[in-house]
Structure 1
Amino acid sequence: MPRLQARAAFGARLSALAAGVLFACAVHAQSATMRFDQPAEPLERAVNEVARRAGIQVFFASGVTESRIAPALQGEFTAREALERLLAGSGLRLRAQDERTYTIEAGATGEVPARLGAVVVSASADASAGGLPPAYAGHQVARGGRVGILGNQDIMDTPFTSTAYTAELMQDQQARSVSDVVQNDPSVRVARGFGNFQELYVIRGFPVFSDDVAYNGLYGLLPRQYVAAEFLERVEVFRGANTFLNGAAPGGSGVGGAINLLPKRAPNEALTRLTIGAEHGGHAHVAADLGRRFGTDGQFGVRVNAARRDGETAVDDEKRRLDMFAVGLDQRGEHFRLSADVGYQDHDIDAPRPSVTPRGGIPDAPDANDNFAQPWTFSRERQAFGTFRGELDLGETTTAWLAAGVREGAEKNRLANPRSDAAGVTSSYRFDNVRDEDVATGEAGIRGALQTGAVSHQWVVSASAFRLKARNAYAFSSFAGFAGNLHDPVDVAMPAADFFTGGSLDSPHVTERTRNSSVAVADTLGFADERVLLTLGVRNQTIEARTYDYNTGARASAYRERANTPIAGVVFKASPRTSLYANYIEALVKGDVAPATFGGQPVLNAGAALDPYVSKQTEVGVKYDGGHIGGSLSLFTTRRPFSVVDNGVFGDGGQQRNRGLELTVFGEAARGLRLLGGATFLDARQTDTQGGATDGKRAIGVPRAQLNVGAEWDVPGMPGLVLTGRAVHTSSQYANAANTLEVPSWTRLDVGARYITEVGGEVVTLRARIDNLADRDYWASVGGYPNANYLVLGAPRTVTISASIDF
């Protein structure tokens, strides 16, 4: 079994090392003398820097617990001398395996430690033989991630662009949910669902509904509105159309990209971490994270996460409560890998600040601390899910896999989303909604490798299936509504929701059934000693959707469509550090479903589903991997149809064509300076609109420019202290198809710091963060739901502090 690389965590205790326990750090010693000028810092980071300078690799095996601050390393040393100085006084020692390989052991004397067993465990969220792709320099992103049915791929080997954000980044930034993580990405902006508080992610100018976020490669399993960060090991953002790679997204989004979330697994070293914290406004949280491995070779793993968040947020009178619990199990054998996850989330918001629909003009953004929600509004969500995944090696080059999962979810909302004129004068009405969902999904496949002459092949065959059953009901008060003002909010008595209803809130009918199935085949051919990689494939996708009348349960609409979605991608490795790539890929997407109301008026064909459509994408780009700094530059064009409401009827409205240039940067630009960010420039136009009325106009809610610059700096002379900062800029956006309503651009600055120290022999990490440092008042997003133009106010200045202790 090959030895697998894993990064030793800061949060482990040196005192837990017993004599004879391996810290198996296999290093190929270099006899050349090198000049070192390293400050005192965590031992793991110091050892990694020596390995990098010497051109060697460091492997960490199971059973390791290490968190000591290593001494400063200054002067000229060989790699072996440098490592010995870092270990001085630690109770660890170097032992030669041969003239170029060493291990680091506990104990100064005694018998030779036992060698590792046949099975070396590595945390593998997807039950793959290779485990998680390793972190890139700086440990904020990974060297690669899942590329649909192609499996885990290195960033330089795939004809697409993606970024996998690590658990370390989430912890250091005190991320609460997926939206906090993806705000690091220049291609992504965070919006909100239509008429609810669903997190919605806009990638390359197209929405990705939270319904369409994948969990370990499977759609529909995660909580639908909000996913707590405590569930997650990685957040993988894939840019571009992806039906061939992942199958059709069941919610009908994902044209501009996809998000895949990976669960946590027990690490090789024992983990017991407690985190407590608080947020500006009185919102407190506590979280526990435990991981253990069992068995003679640590082949069994258990990871348990639990968290509670409760209290008022930085928005006046808005209260949030979240309870989450997750258990991840895994087993690694010599020729198989198994994993399973069970999760539960209960998320409640009282007086949630609503979205605002402009009426005749764009109001000035209210004070970001103010809350214009009615006190009787709320959002409730409870979700439970479970998944299983297994891999079996059928030979040295062939592996079969099987994955399946289920989810049950219940949501209940009482909302009053206002419509506002340019002066901030509003009209609102009550909207109640309930939704229950049952989801079952699965995937099976086989992949392998073979050689035909000078050409290598990495082939894969896969089949997938998805099933959704949703029950829904709604009730509105009179659309005449009640008056208010964004800048001077007033509480009103709750009106009766009996004016316009659909179904029974106490016993909703089934209103939607979706069944997706597909079969895919692909081959990546390698030429010229793997310098040229050509990927060809096709997925035969079937989408079946039925909608039902809210009141009677009778069928309202139905379709069953099948289409082939092809892929062609090529990578040319121009040098060891540079890859050129190009791709053509299509997306088959479920048609939009007509909402109950739009623009404050009822929709006559509410619940009707439009036909599926095909979206096409072409892309070219270049990637760079300098070892410690990397990035990509890409040019792309994507088209997709959009829907409108005309005379109260929901239907096709035309096409949206997005052309763009995208730049990403990540890694360690200099010792102790980590960068993460980039820029996206978009030209999003409407085409083929009804009567050509808005042809050539910019698409609603798509800015021309999105810029992110994030940095972390290890303060010299102060071991363990890190200062952080991030600037996010979004240019102006249009809020109507005619481009007569424009929302101003905005820029937000976030700053923070963290400090790693020891208290009573335990490793403690202290973190502080201020989001929106200047307390800017701004409209953060426009719309999100196709062709809708509701506005979401940005969060006020928010101070978050936390302390994590590793026992």
Structure 2
Amino acid sequence: MKLSPLYLALIASASVASAAENNDNLERIEVKGSYFNDYKVDNASGAMRTSASLLETAQSVTVITDTIVNEQLATTLGEVLTNDASLTAGSQQRNREVFNLRGFELSSSTGYLRDGHQHWSHYQQPIEILQQVEVIKGPSSILYGQSGPGGLVNMVTKKPTAQTLFNASADVDQHGSTRFMVDAGGALTEAEDLRARGILVKQDVDYWREYQNGENRERDRFLGALVVDYDITDNALVRFHYDRTDDEAGLDTGAWIDDNANVIGDDKTIRDMSWAFTDITVENLGVDFQVFLSDNWQVNIGYNEQTFERQRFESAARKPSDFMEGDSYESRPYDRFDDWQFTTAFIDFIGEFETAGVQHQLLIGANSLDYYYGQLRTSSDSIFYSAGQTEPTRPDISYKSDPTKSESEYDFYGVYFQDLITFSPEWQVSLGGRFDKQNKEGADNESFVPKFGVLYHPNASATVYGSYSEGFEPQSSDTLINESDINNGMKLDAVTSEQKEIGIKWQLFDDRLMLSSALFDISKTGTLITEQLDNPVGDIETITTQAGEQRHKGFELGAQGAATDRLFVMASTMYLDAEYVQGGARPTDVPKWSASLWTRYEVTDAIAFNAGAFYEGERFADSANTITKDAYTRVDVGATYKFNVSNTDINLRLNVENLFDTDYLGGGGDNNVTVGEGTNLRLAAQFNF
């Protein structure tokens, strides 16, 4: 009979206790400190779509746990992702967030996953339902299909447990913003074969920036989520999940800056009108099956329907090229309704077996995506406004008056395989490939991408690896459509990318602390370049080619876990040399150096302090590389106090963001930059019943 390590530990503990009772002279050792390493995770389900550990993954992967999210009182995905220096923020206009991973922008449609499903991420994600966030770096098309060269962000949701839980929390900041959350679940039957978990969140935000009529920007968000697990048999589980987000907020498309990257006017000024807003409703409904066919084979099946509806009433302020505070500027209001529908499905067969003394962990699978988008839009006459004037009234227009609906749709599917081959305790090889087909009117596409990696383990706690992977992104059309271009009608290939990466992963202090490093070289080719002809002929004025190439080279260093029994750390830094090969320009919002640090020190079992620092180097705000945003370091601190009252664990927390009130600019260009907030206090109370 095989005994689990936990069972053996319990037997040993009981034996020691019994011996102590019979021998008063036995030396007694008192151990203090944390036994649970809640900063470090050893597996990332999204990287390999299997249970392979990070030490068996020939790729750089960062896992941000919900412990860190809770300590930072994070309310957006952007606040979570600041913990990985390989991610930098882009524009945050219109109540959504844009990110660059290793310098490449993550697409809303292909850059994000939720539990392995491609996830439409054109909104601020409901992070309260997440167990952890996995940052998978480099092209990952082999397992997920269309995706960019920087990598993917996989959001892993919380699941039901047999143990009953009921957690409630409330937090508030100095502006009066509030968030209330309930997280409850447990077994619904005595046999514990039916389990559920539900999460409710109500958030009201008062932002620090103001409209020019003196009103504050506000946000009202509701989240409801339910997950139900049922054990059909001892070897089969079915999971149903549903979540809904209602999110309405005033619009802030960002500040305007001059050629020296100075904010024009007051940092608090919002150029949009106070009646501009966005109203979003997102629903996810799906089912997953996990069936163990034998001791060595299992099948995972997943299906998810995502419906995303949004009304956006814009004032659409436009910055004049030579704008100075007090000048008049134009707004072009419109009312718009968007309807996105994302339907995803996958089936994975995973097996572990041995052939000729060689171990295999084999994955064979297929996934698909059906995409639909529809838009209604109605515009009004232009409005001209300058500071000090009375704000113009909201135009009497509605998207419902649009008689024609603009629509587009496509679907793609792919089949893939991956094999992690273990030759010995020291040597492993990972290889795989994917065939992918897109069906879209005027943009059909087929692609095959390979992936290969070699792993060497000098000991059980270390890995040295090298890998090669490819990715692809189909064009919006299979031919160039531009009647004024000399190459009108030219056949277009998909944009492709490839990455070469070598790295080291090393676990220290009894595997409590993971150190990692990666050296990477990514190239993206096939982007369209349009140039004016020196000698136009008739109506032919331009020439377009697929010669565009983007090259990003750099390295990353990271540390995550417990440095001592009391000190926990998550730290990373990245150096990135990124450029467009033609012309040598650097992409916007991509610093050469970035770094992040978050720590917890437990003074006692009841009191702990946090400290963090987040650095971004100089970045360009425009594609011509003429406007440079300064480097900055933001320092955050926090403290928590835990106690128990009537069998209820209570956690009181105070966080101070931007402790030294540093002035800085976040992501965005000269007409949509995010201005960093000054010192901000957050208070929270968490109750575990």
The TM-score normalised by the length of structure 2 is 0.86
1:414 aligns with 2:316: no
2:659 aligns with 773
Q: Is contact 2:253–2:672 with CA below 8 Å preserved after alignment?
A: no
**Structure 1 counterpart of 2:629, which letter?**
V
Q: 1:490 to 1:406 in 2, by over 3 A?
A: farther
Q: 1:442 to 1:357 in 2, by over 3 A?
A: farther
Q: 1:662 to 1:477 in 2, by over 3 A?
A: farther
**Structure 1 counterpart of 2:149, which letter?**
V
2-structure distance, mates of 1:649, 1:280: 54
State the shift of 1:202 in Å.
Answer: 1.3
Q: Is contact 2:238–2:289 with CA below 8 Å preserved after alignment?
A: yes
1:298 aligns with 2:192: yes
Q: 1:5 to 1:228 in 2, by over 3 A?
A: farther
| Residue correspondence of structure 1 range 166-177 to structure 2 within 5 A | 166-177=65-76
The TM-score normalised by the length of structure 1 is 0.74
1-structure distance, mates of 2:2, 2:376: 54
Q: 1:469 to 1:144 in 2, by over 3 A?
A: same
2-structure distance, mates of 1:528, 1:507: 67
Could you say what the CA RMSD is over the residues aligned between the two structures, in angstroms?
3.4
Q: 1:295 to 1:320 in 2, by over 3 A?
A: same
- List per-residue Cα deviations over 1:203-246 (Å, max 9, x = no partner): 111111343311110013x6631112112111111111100122
Q: 1:430 to 1:343 in 2, by over 3 A?
A: same
284-293 or 430-439: which moved more? Answer: 430-439
- List per-residue Cα deviations over 1:107-139 (Å, max 9, x = no partner): xxxxxxxxxxxxxxxxxxxxxxxxxxxx99631
3-state SS in 2 of match to 1:152: coil
1:698 aligns with 2:594: no
1-structure distance, mates of 2:127, 2:4: 26
- The counterpart of 1:589, out of the listed 473, 481, 490, is 473
Q: 1:428 to 1:293 in 2, by over 3 A?
A: farther
Q: Is contact 1:215–1:260 with CA below 8 Å preserved after alignment?
A: yes
Q: 1:650 to 1:780 in 2, by over 3 A?
A: farther
1:189 aligns with 2:88: yes
**Structure 1 counterpart of 2:419, which letter?**
D
1:21 aligns with none
State the shift of 1:580 in Å.
Answer: 0.5
1:535 aligns with 2:417: no
1:794 aligns with 676
- The counterpart of 2:369, out of the listed 466, 469, 491, is 466
1-structure distance, mates of 2:371, 2:99: 22
2:248 aligns with 348
3-state SS in 2 of match to 1:373: coil
Q: 1:619 to 1:367 in 2, by over 3 A?
A: farther
1-structure distance, mates of 2:609, 2:390: 42
State the shift of 1:570 in Å.
Answer: 1.2
**Structure 2 counterpart of 1:769, which letter?**
N
**Structure 2 counterpart of 1:640, which letter?**
K
Q: 1:536 to 1:778 in 2, by over 3 A?
A: same
3-state SS in 2 of match to 1:27: helix
1:326 aligns with 2:222: no
**Structure 2 counterpart of 1:758, which letter?**
N
1-structure distance, mates of 2:567, 2:268: 34
3-state SS in 2 of match to 1:664: strand
1:199 aligns with 2:97: yes
Q: Is contact 1:643–1:650 with CA below 8 Å preserved after alignment?
A: no
1:125 aligns with none
- List per-residue Cα deviations over 1:24-64 (Å, max 9, x = no partner): 7943638999xxxxxxxxxxxxxxxxxxxxxxxxxxxxxxx
- List per-residue Cα deviations over 1:554-578 (Å, max 9, x = no partner): xxxx210101011001111122222
- The counterpart of 1:246, out of the listed 127, 137, 144, is 144
**Structure 2 counterpart of 1:802, which letter?**
A
1:381 aligns with 2:280: yes
- The counterpart of 2:124, out of the listed 226, 234, 237, is 226
Q: 1:706 to 1:168 in 2, by over 3 A?
A: same
3-state SS in 2 of match to 1:574: coil
2-structure distance, mates of 1:277, 1:421: 42
Q: Is contact 1:156–1:579 with CA below 8 Å preserved after alignment?
A: yes
- List per-residue Cα deviations over 1:384-413 (Å, max 9, x = no partner): 111211111111111112100101111111
1-structure distance, mates of 2:136, 2:444: 28
2-structure distance, mates of 1:294, 1:537: 41
1-structure distance, mates of 2:322, 2:519: 37
1:515 aligns with 411
3-state SS in 1 of match to 2:56: coil
Q: 1:414 to 1:646 in 2, by over 3 A?
A: farther
| Residue correspondence of structure 1 range 600-619 to structure 2 within 5 A | 612-619=494-501
1:745 aligns with 631
State the shift of 1:143 in Å.
Answer: 1.3
**Structure 2 counterpart of 1:199, which letter?**
E
State the shift of 1:368 in Å.
Answer: 4.6
- The counterpart of 1:27, out of the listed 10, 17, 22, is 10
1:562 aligns with 2:446: yes
3-state SS in 2 of match to 1:262: strand
362-371 or 270-279: which moved more? Answer: 362-371
1:714 aligns with 602
1:131 aligns with none
2-structure distance, mates of 1:645, 1:378: 35
2-structure distance, mates of 1:776, 1:505: 47
Q: 1:446 to 1:347 in 2, by over 3 A?
A: same
157-166 or 422-431: which moved more? Answer: 422-431
2:537 aligns with none
Q: Is contact 1:469–1:513 with CA below 8 Å preserved after alignment?
A: yes
2-structure distance, mates of 1:657, 1:334: 50
Q: 1:473 to 1:796 in 2, by over 3 A?
A: farther
State the shift of 1:338 in Å.
Answer: 2.0
2-structure distance, mates of 1:591, 1:510: 19
1:733 aligns with 619
Q: Is contact 2:47–2:136 with CA below 8 Å preserved after alignment?
A: no
1:444 aligns with 2:361: no
1:684 aligns with 2:566: no
1:310 aligns with 2:204: yes
- The counterpart of 1:236, out of the listed 116, 123, 134, is 134
Q: Is contact 2:115–2:156 with CA below 8 Å preserved after alignment?
A: yes
State the shift of 1:719 in Å.
Answer: 3.3
- The counterpart of 2:502, out of the listed 588, 608, 620, is 620
- List per-residue Cα deviations over 1:322-341 (Å, max 9, x = no partner): 00000011124421222121
Q: 1:638 to 1:358 in 2, by over 3 A?
A: farther
2-structure distance, mates of 1:320, 1:653: 44
- List per-residue Cα deviations over 1:671-715 (Å, max 9, x = no partner): 21111111011100111x3xxxx2x22222211011111111112
- List per-residue Cα deviations over 1:300-333 (Å, max 9, x = no partner): 2100000101142233401011000000111244
Q: Is contact 1:141–1:163 with CA below 8 Å preserved after alignment?
A: no
Q: Is contact 2:89–2:589 with CA below 8 Å preserved after alignment?
A: no
Q: 1:461 to 1:412 in 2, by over 3 A?
A: same
Q: 1:328 to 1:31 in 2, by over 3 A?
A: closer
1:544 aligns with 439
Q: 1:725 to 1:226 in 2, by over 3 A?
A: same
3-state SS in 2 of match to 1:525: strand
State the shift of 1:280 in Å.
Answer: 2.2
1-structure distance, mates of 2:35, 2:114: 22
Q: Is contact 1:301–1:330 with CA below 8 Å preserved after alignment?
A: yes
1-structure distance, mates of 2:542, 2:238: 49
- List per-residue Cα deviations over 1:510-567 (Å, max 9, x = no partner): 42212111000121111123x2111111100112334xxxxxxxxxxx2101010110
Q: 1:424 to 1:327 in 2, by over 3 A?
A: farther
Q: Which runs of 5+ in 1 are unaligned?
A: 7-23, 34-74, 87-134, 547-557, 594-608
- List per-residue Cα deviations over 1:236-261 (Å, max 9, x = no partner): 11111100122224xxxx32011111
2-structure distance, mates of 1:679, 1:561: 37
2-structure distance, mates of 1:466, 1:291: 31
- The counterpart of 1:456, out of the listed 341, 356, 359, is 359
